[in-house]
Amino acid sequence: MKTTVSNSDFHDAFRSYDRMENFSYEGRNLLFDFLEEMESDKGEEMELDVIAICCEFSEDTVEDIASNYSIDLSYFDEDDDEGRKEAVLEYLKDNTMVVGETPTSIVYQAF
């Protein structure tokens, strides 16, 4: 037997597991929508496992992702934020799934 989880329930589950810091509010919204869409596409219900989500997905800034995955952004001007972001997004899309973007970060499947 499964329980339907609302967006609010999703956020509350992160709070009850003391995992609010793993993702921003916007990042959790992106994850909720992504997981609901995945559930719909597969046609099967998923269990809400906050710990598994925190292990499988990450939310980082463009700079942190570039540093963590050794993405060379040196050929971009320091003020070319859009170019740097596009290079990181291209790298992520080539290597994993991108869940979405917030104004300050990217949510993606960790690899």
Give the tens place of pLDDT for each residue, 50-108. Answer: 999 999 999 999 999 999 999 999 999 988 999 999 999 999 999 999 999 999 999 99
Give the Cα separation of 49 and 53 in Å (integer).
Answer: 6
Banded pLDDT at 4 (limits 50, 70, 90)? confident
- Among residues 98, 108, 105, the alpha carbon closest in space to that of 63 is found at 105
Q: To 10 degrees, the CA torsion angle through 57, 63, 68, 73?
A: 130
Model pTM?
Answer: 0.92
Predicted confidence at residue 1, as pLDDT, reads 55
